[in-house]
Amino acid sequence: SRCRVAVLGATGLVGRTMIQVLEERNFPATEIIPLASSRSAGQVVKFQGKEFITQLPSREVFRGVDIALFSAGATASKEWAKVAAEEGAIVIDNSSAFRMDPEVPLVVPEVNPEAIFKADGTPELIIANPNCSTIQMVVVLKPLHDRFGLKRVVVSTYQSVTGKGKAGRDALESELAGEKQEKFTHFHQIAFNAVPQIDVFTDNGYTKEEMKMVNETRKIMGDDTISVSPTTVRIPVYGGHGESLNIELDRDFEIDEVRELLRTAPGIILQDDPSASLYPMPLTSYERDEVFVGRLRRDYWHPRTLNMWIVADNLRKGAATNAVQIAEVVIAKKG
């Protein structure tokens, strides 16, 4: 059934990608209600050949909205998610505001789509979209967890500057143009560099980005016995986040069995032929919706353990596409 879709943060990099993905996937929206802060209100947004004017969020604006996609930061989500839900919208929130709230499901459709729905079969009113670096990892961990049991993951990330939206992209561009950029990557230059800090440090020496990977993975997978040991690093690339995964399973495996399992798993494309130097890279994952897997190999130096390298477009599967896929599951059930 056709529905009215609001997008809060419509003029940001993720918000614009959400609208692009809704159009590409022919999401059955009768109209888009683009919402943004006063800085961006008034901007024109195109959708399915029609033009919509970006407005300020308000309770009235959410009245009659069926799906509200949020990507305007945690403060805006805390201010507007419950209001939108009270007005009848199903809120799919890409911010960190509700991800660890026990009342709010944290969903990757390939992993835990059932979490979208209450016991009575109706959708939860607020559904949280996980952090980009977590989404691409759990898409790959899910089939392994189901088949072999999952004990521990050591993950090192190589994250695109677009994880920080337009600010990240503009920072890299201005540095490459020779202008010094002060406010990005914690006052370090990002061009020609690697910065092992994404978001702020917490008391335990890990950054918020790293603790998101630890905590969100356990919630999405529904398994608090999984241990995740993360290091998240910003690098000056476009196109997606890369992640090196060292995965210890509960049961041993044949590497060809793992390869076949991943080749046929939902949301995954295997790009793995060392003889042809074929493996995933950010530039070849750009604007794609799948998680690309390569460099699959046994870890000969630790039992029941394998290594792999995965890449996904952090603006798409890492944010916008995952949110739209959740919306597709919601409306498919509504019929």
Binding-site members are 11-14, 39-40, 99, 159, 234, 314
Report the residue from 106, 125, 195, 198 that binds ligand 2RA according to the rule CB under 6 A.
198
Binding residues for substrate: 159, 234
Name the residue whose CB lies closest to ligand 2RA: 163
Edge-to-edge strands of the sheet including 305-312?
A: 227-234, 150-159, 241-249, 305-312, 291-298, 268-270
- The token pair at 322 is 């995952």
3 is catalytic: no
Residue 164 in the binding site for ligand 2RA (CB under 6 A): yes
* Residue number with CB closer to ligand 2RA (305 or 322): 322
Burial class (CB in 10 A: 0-12, 13-18, 19+), 316: buried
Residue identified by tokens 């683009």 is 34
Distance CA 138, CA 153 (A): 11
Judge contact between 150 and 217, C-beta under 8 A: no
Annotated binding-site ranges for phosphate = 99
Distance of CA 63 to the CA centre of its chain: 28
- Residue of 3, 145, 188, 241 with catalytic role: 241
Q: How many residues bind ligand 2RA (CB under 6 A)?
A: 8
Using the minimum distance from each CB to ligand 2RA, give the nearer residue, 5 or 312: 312
The contact mask relative to ligand 2RA for 120-159 (x = CB under 6 A, - = no) is: -----------xxx-------------------------x
Residue 114 has φ and ψ, to the nearest 5°, of -65, -20
Among residues 12, 57, 163, 239, the one that binds ligand 2RA under rule CB under 6 A: 163
Separation between Cα atoms, residue 27 and residue 23, nearest integer Å = 6
Nearer to ligand 2RA by Cβ, of 216 and 248: the residue is 216
- Laid out side by side, the sheet with 126-128 consists of 29-35, 3-8, 67-70, 90-93, 126-128
The least CB distance from residue 164 to ligand 2RA, in Å, is 5
Is 132 an annotated catalytic residue?
A: yes
Cβ at position 118, least distance to ligand 2RA in Å: 29
99-102-104-108 Cα dihedral, nearest 10 degrees: 60
195 is an interface residue for ligand 2RA by CB under 6 A: no
Least Å from the CB of residue 314 to ligand 2RA: 6
Cβ contacts of residue 120 below 8 Å, gap of 6+? none
Question: CB of 165: closest distance to ligand 2RA in angstroms?
Answer: 8
* DSSP code at position 316: I
In the complex with ligand 2RA, the residue whose CB is nearer, 132 or 139, is 132
> Shortest gap between Cβ of 133 and ligand 2RA (angstroms)?
5
Task: Name the residues that contact ligand 2RA, by CB under 6 A.
Answer: 131-133, 159, 163-164, 198, 209
| Active site positions, annotated | 132, 241
